[in-house]
Structure 1
Amino acid sequence: MTKVKFIALKNYIKGGYPQEKDFETKEVDLDETLGNNQILVKLIYISVDPYVRGRMSEGKSYIDPFKIGEPIECGGVGKIEKSNCSKWKVGDYIANNQFPWKEKFVTDGNNPGCYKADKNAAPLPCYLSLLGMTGMTAYCGLTEIGEPKKGETLVVSAGSGAVGQIVGQVGKIIGCRVIGIAGSKEKCDFMTKELRFDVGINYKSPTYKDDIAKAVEKTGVDIYWENVGGEITDAVLPHLNKYARIPLCGVISSYNKTELDVGPRIQIYLLKSSAKMQGFIVFNYIDKFPAASKQLAEWYNQGKIKDQHSIKKGLDQVVPSFLSLFNSDHLGKMIIKIADE
């Protein structure tokens, strides 16, 4: 038996922002005896993502809520310490989009969600961002729904965030003019100087609506990548071009509201522009993952795309880092390092 710690949901949240009191850290005995095809994984990196908030509430959604008292799950990368599965050997690095927030655990080595993380191909944190669920979300959502074409104008809300940074860079590679929206001058500079977006707009500026209008005055908006919703979207919709496309990835501005989020009705804008708005989750395109991963890895190794991470260390940093996602105080993908590689 080995003592291991994990982070669990303490209670369901009916509305409002999650708080540290909604989580609890538990210590339990782990039986390292392996059954057929089982593996023992030491967690190295764990992801924290906004979609976790949805699983902290009861009610119908595209995925079941977490169980009270059980480990919260998110994308993770671990190292095989013991193996009773022919697919894995001790020392291999393994990634999965649903690893528990737990220091060590036993799992099924034949789980189809598990895949190898090759340090020689890319740094391990990339398998939680560019080469993980984040990258698949950005690439598949943009190419399948956004259908970007050279010369078009792409507007990305939360452009400095985990998904937005990849969406904008893929758009640039394809030949789009890219406008990123974020919440500080630092983030706008990051988008334009590091990610090579054409324009960065600070939505916390009192002139942000005018700034958006000026940025698209001559081109309009062909693709609007929706990460945020709310007033930012209200400012973009009047500028849609005919046959504009809106991949609906997230609406983080609404996740923690205690009352119904009400704003201008969107139907008139979609009707006038013959625009398409389509919601999606990444697993809608699971058959596209191999090709998407291959293309993103190729661009990464050619230096055409960057993968910005915000990395903190320690299991005790998981919850504070998750809560910080709703305060817009980080760049790129938020990742916690649980143990040394």
Structure 2
Amino acid sequence: MATTNRQFVLGKRPEGTPDRDTFELEEIEVPEPEYGEVLVRTLSLSVDPYMRGRMDEAESYAESWQVGEPMEGAVVGEVVESEHEAWSAGAFVTGNLTWSEYATAHGDRLSPVEPGENLGLEAHLGVLGMPGRTAYFGTRDVLDPYPGDTVVVSGAAGAVGSTVGQIAKLAGTRVVGFAGSEEKVRYLEEDLGFDVGINYTETDDYREALDEAAPDGVDRYFDNVGGPISDAVFTRLNVDATVAVCGQIDTYNATEAPTGPRKLPMVIAPRATVQGFLVFDYEPRFPQATEHLREWVEAGDIEHRETVVEGFENAPDAFLGLFSGDNIGKQVVKVAEPDS
């Protein structure tokens, strides 16, 4: 085992879009697990859009990182040492750990990772991790689509949106997805089974594009993005439509509150329901979601993809790539190969 350990801490609070100076790389000692703890060697770590909010001082649903403190996120790793009866060296685990090559955590905060057919370790950060569970509960519980509904997904080629669209297709719906390149649109239509993909970077009029892709209007909208795309979708909502507000990445780096069309008048005539949700509220049901998602993946009913950035030192670049649309599917950082 290595005797040194690298970790990323929050170097400064960003103003607007973060850059490399937002992150500071430190070299520290490998920690020793105390009673009840486990020492984990990071194999892959997750970068996710919600982390942008944790860089700000403003209060939110996720606790802010303090300047100089280690950053945190979902990790898949291998147990090196264990002071917890449930874990032994060589076990694969996942949990929220610091952005470091080695980290300790209480054993009760870790979950087992079981690779399977069509499932590498990284899948536990994507389709079987927080993004997959977000898609599962956001689609099945919040949107609750019926056969024949038209479902629109923004950020459709990302980790959450790509799974949302496929779950909606399994429910017998017509699915339209917004994505940021022709490559992503092909991925939606040819690999994932979306009925129509819309390249928003090449579309001048989102309303007109929706009229062509969803001529019968929109019954369910899964919103990962906000901004002008959502402004357009709200004008096309059908009676009794439902909107699940998952994320608003379009505004995460805004230095001033953006203004746009007022949306509340648009929900009156269709009597639409607009609901924000957090996946953490469904934590008691996480095993149910993971089981269903694993069954779908292993049966070939749900496809998944990970965009892998190699090297722990490149974790900041992987995170920043989320805001420039570098990833298709889940963005992960490959840190090391397993020993066992």
Same fold (TM over 0.5): yes
Q: What's the offset of the Cα at 1:288?
A: 2.0
Deviations 1:54-92 (A, max 9, x none): 000001111210122121111110000111111111111
Which residue in the other structure is 1:241 paired with?
A: 238
After TM superposition, give the deviation of residue 30 of structure 1 in Å: 2.3
| Superimposed CA distance per residue, residues 214-263 of structure 1 (whole angstroms, 9 cap, x where no aligned partner) | 1112x210100000001011111111011111110000000001111100
TM-score in terms of structure 2 length: 0.96
State whether structure 2 residue 26 is matched by structure 1 residue 16: no
- CA separation in 2, counterparts of 1:99 and 1:242? 44
Match of 2:270?
273
Give 2:256's match in structure 1, choosing from 245, 250, 259: 259
Does the aligned pair in 2 maintain the 1:2–1:31 contact within 8 Å?
Answer: no
Partner of 2:115: 119
1:147-170 residue CA offsets vs partner (Å, 9 max, x unmatched): 111111100001001100000010
Q: Counterpart of 1:104?
A: 102
Does the 8 Å CA contact 1:4/1:29 hold for their aligned counterparts? yes
Cα offset for 1:2?
Answer: 2.3
Deviation, structure 1 residue 316: 1.4
Distance 1:311 1:78 in 2: 16
CA distance in 2, matches of 1:270, 1:288: 31
| Number of the residue aligned with 1:54 | 53
Match of 1:330 among 311, 327, 332: 327
Does 2:214 match 1:216? yes
Matching of residue 134 in structure 1 with residue 131 in structure 2: yes
CA distance in 1, matches of 2:313, 2:321: 14
Out of 144, 148, 167, the position equivalent to 1:147 is 144
Q: What is the match of residue 93 of structure 1?
A: 92
Q: Which residue of 1 aligns with 2:154?
A: 157
Cα distance in structure 1, aligned partners of 2:29 and 2:140: 46
Distance 2:41 2:205 in 1: 46
Moved more, 139-148 or 115-124: 115-124
Mapping 1:26-65, distance limit 5 Å: 26-32=26-32, 34-65=33-64
SS in 2 for 1:287: helix
Q: Aligned-pair RMSD on alpha carbons?
A: 1.2
User: Does the CA-based 8 Å contact 1:202-1:208 persist in structure 2?
Assistant: no
The offset of 1:206, in angstroms, is: 3.6
One-letter amino acid matched to 2:113: A
> 2:229 maps to which residue?
232
Question: CA–CA distance in 1 between the matches of 2:169 and 2:50?
Answer: 26
Secondary structure of 2:253 counterpart: coil
What is the aligned residue count? 335
Q: What secondary structure sits across from 2:235 in the alignment?
A: helix
Cα displacement (A) at 1:198? 0.3
SS at 2:13's partner residue?
coil
More moved, 17-26 vs 202-211: 202-211
Counterpart of 2:73 in structure 1 is: 74
Distance in 1, Cα, partners of 2:171 & 2:282: 20
SS in 1 for 2:74: strand
Tell me the CA shift for residue 207 of structure 1. Answer: 3.6
Which runs of 5 or more residues in structure 2 are unaligned? none
Alpha carbons 1:46, 1:336 under 8 Å: kept: yes
TM-score calculated relative to the size of structure 1: 0.96
Runs of 4+ in 1 over 3 A off after TM superposition: none
Residues in 1 aligned to 2:217 and 2:203: alpha-carbon distance in whole angstroms: 22
